[in-house]
């Protein structure tokens, strides 16, 4: 015995499209995650850049982290001191 599949008797709800609010929330969460990883990876990449004497890698790290370096150079007090302390952990 086989039963015919009828979509009207299905108990599963139809997938709904995400709302604009949900899309915006997902976008904000992705942006925050990117910024978090950008900051967290700065320390290990500085350490790797110091250990590896590979010019293309050093140049790319300096290019990618140029905005962070400008922030530290401009000496914005809470941000620059935290970034200096965190990157300093990896410079040894």
pLDDT tens by residue, 43-83: 999 899 888 889 999 999 999 999 999 999 998 889 899 99
Is the distance from CB of 71 to CB of 84 less than 8 angstroms? no
CA distance readout (Å), 66 to 14, 38, 40, 59: 47, 12, 15, 10
Tell me, rounded to whole angstroms, the distance of Cα 64 from its chain centroid: 13
What does the pLDDT look like over 3-59, one tens digit per residue?
555 555 556 655 788 899 999 999 999 999 999 999 999 999 989 988 888 999 999
Question: Per-residue pLDDT for 92 more than 80?
Answer: no
pTM of the full predicted structure? 0.71
For residue 61, is it within any domain? yes
Question: What is the tally of structural domains in the chain?
Answer: 1
**Which structural domain, as residue segments, surrounds residue 86?**
42-92
């Amino acid at each position: 015995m086989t039963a015919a599949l009828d979509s009207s008797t299905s108990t599963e709800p139809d997938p709904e499209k995400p709302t604009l609010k949900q899309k915006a929330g997902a976008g904000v969460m992705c942006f925050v995650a990117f910024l978090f990883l950008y900051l967290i990876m700065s320390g290990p990449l500085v350490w790797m850049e110091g250990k590896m004497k590979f010019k293309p890698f050093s140049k790319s790290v300096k290019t990618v982290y140029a905005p962070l370096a400008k922030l530290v150079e401009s000496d914005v007090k809470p941000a620059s001191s935290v970034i200096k302390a965190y990157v300093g952990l990896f410079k040894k």
